[in-house]
Amino acid sequence: MAELSCRQCEELAEELALGVLSCHERADALAHLETCSSCQDRVSALTATADRLVELLPPVEPPAGFEQRVINALTPPPSPRTRRWQLPVAAGLAAVALATSGWIAGRATHNQTPTGASPQTQTGNDGQTGERTILYAPLTTAEHETPEHQVGQAYLYPGHPSWIYLSLDAPNTTTAGTINCEVVRRDGSTVSVGSFPLINGRGSWGGPAPIDRDTLATAKLINRNGHTLAKAHFGRPRSTSGQHSPPRHSEHRLRGHS
């Protein structure tokens, strides 16, 4: 392997960014980048330009049938637990509602008195097939601050499979680096569900998480030192919540706008 000078590396930078160097040249260039941050910056800037060029290619609607084939390939085989989300439900009402203009988190139901009845909806109710509930709670700074300062948002989908999405936007925080996300259950047990980088106080992460609506209490973001950066409290499920206090979280009906 040849050791390149910066000048030699610069001559390869465009082709490296475009992904068209030979294996040998590529290896040489990458070896140089390992040791040279200025060449590295140059190549990453050129790579971003090359990426944008490809993104400018005109979009083309694929032939009929493509979408269904892909969805079939991405949908796990039927099992009792996941049955509810199998096609044709996903490809029918719900899919149309979700996909055309994206999901819309419906009206917030803050402080709605728990009645056990299903939350109000604005449009024709598709029932189980056309809508589903996603839980939302604001991510706030530690509880001793009053009023709590909102620094982000937490969404949880407690279905099968269950998943979580968190976004944090706290430009004033001094914390940087990797943030761990934990889910705390009502019995106090904690599950670590993933981590994401925080850059200039901003970051977001989503992924699978073992969430059960009945046991879920809190989602927490923890920094490297174990300090809790933010938390989102989810109230008890409507059907079982007592009359202690109005829930701070809200349940959103996800539905399409037409």
**Minimum separation from the CB atom of position 20 to Zn ion (A):** 20
Residue 218 CB neighbour total at 10 angstroms: 17
Would you say 53 or 239 has its CB closer to another protein? 53
Segment interacting with another protein, rule: CB under 8 A, options 106-114, 120-128, 219-227, 236-244: 106-114
Task: Residue 39: name its binding partner from another protein, Zn ion, none (Cβ under 5 to 8 Å by kind).
Answer: Zn ion
Buried-state track 161-188, b at ≥16 Cβ within 10 A, e below 16: ebbbbbbbebeebebeeebbbbbbbeee
Closest approach of another protein to the CB of residue 90, in Å? 4
Establish if 64 lies at the interface with another protein (CB under 8 A). Answer: no
134 vs 137: CA distance, rounded Å: 10
CB atoms within 10 A of CB 75: 14
Cβ proximity to another protein: between 114 and 206 the closer is: 206
Amino acid at 34: E
For Zn ion, give the closer residue by CB, 25 or 148: 25
85, 112, 123, 228: which one binds another protein (CB under 8 A): 85
Which residue in 196, 220, 232, 233 binds another protein (CB under 8 A)?
196
Residues 137, 152: Cα–Cα separation, whole Å: 9
Binder to another protein among 1, 7, 22, 145 (CB under 8 A)? 22
Q: Which of 30, 31, 36, 104 binds another protein (CB under 8 A)?
A: 104
Q: Which two tokens stand for residue 136?
A: 């939302």
Helical segments of the chain, H only: 6-18, 23-35, 37-55, 66-74, 93-99, 127-130
- Does residue 164 belong to the site contacting another protein (CB under 8 A)? yes
Whose Cβ is closer to another protein: residue 157's or residue 223's?
Answer: 157
- Considering only residues 9 to 38 of the shown chain, the ones binding Zn ion according to CB under 5 A are 9, 36
Which region, left, alpha or beta, applies to residue 79 given φ > 0 means left and ψ of -120 to 50 means alpha? beta
Q: Is 55 in the site for another protein (CB under 8 A)?
A: yes
Check binding of 94 to another protein (CB under 8 A): yes
Burial classification of residue 219, based on how many CB atoms lie within 10 Å of its CB (0-12 exposed, 13-18 middle, 19 or more buried)? buried
- Distance spanning both ends of the chain, measured CA to CA: 59
Q: Which of 39, 97, 211, 221 binds Zn ion (CB under 5 A)?
A: 39
Of residues 211-240, which lie at the interface with another protein (CB under 8 A)?
A: none
- Class of residue 152 by CB neighbours under 10 A (exposed 0-12, middle 13-18, buried 19+): buried
Size of interface with another protein, in residues (CB under 8 A)? 87
For Zn ion, the binding residues (CB under 5 A) are 6, 9, 36, 39
